């Protein structure tokens, strides 16, 4: 799994989560958690700790 910068018109506005091969829910939630931690550490935006992971868990509960 890797994180990458946005390209073209979204450069500087978002980041991408990339993977090669299998990616399951737990792996994606780990990436979201790491992204949250990084955003909080560098002050990019005010992120409540655990909010992204909680949203992903809720999505997977509802959508399988």
Instruction: Name the domain count of the chain.
Output: 1
Residue 4 within any structural domain of the chain: no
> Binning pLDDT at 50, 70 and 90, where does residue 10 land?
very high
Identify the domain containing residue 56 by its residue range. Answer: 22-64
What string of DSSP letters covers the chain? -EEEE--GGGTTT-EEEE-SS---HHHHHHHHHHHHHHHHHHTSS---TTHHHHHHHHHHHHH-
Residue 15 within any structural domain of the chain: no
Q: What is the pLDDT of residues 33-63, one digit of tens each?
A: 988 888 888 887 677 889 999 999 999 999 9
Whole-model pTM above 0.75? no
Residue 31 within any structural domain of the chain: yes
Per-residue pLDDT, 5: 87
Residue 2 within any structural domain of the chain: no
Segment 17-34 mean pLDDT: 88
Per-residue pLDDT, 8: 93
Residue 10 within any structural domain of the chain: no
In b/e form, how buried is each residue of 4-29, taking b as 16+ CB within 10 angstroms?
Answer: eeeeeeeeeeeeeeeeeeeeeeeebb
Residue 16 within any structural domain of the chain: no
Residue 44 within any structural domain of the chain: yes
Per-residue pLDDT, 53: 93
Q: What element of type H or E holds 30? A: helix 25-42
């Amino acid at each position: 799994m890797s994180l990458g910068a946005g390209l073209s018109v979204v450069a500087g506005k978002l980041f991408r989560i990339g993977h090669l091969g299998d990616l399951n829910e737990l792996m994606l939630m780990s990436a979201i958690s790491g992204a949250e931690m990084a955003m909080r550490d560098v002050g990019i935006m005010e992120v409540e700790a655990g909010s992204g992971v909680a949203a992903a868990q809720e999505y997977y509960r509802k959508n399988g």
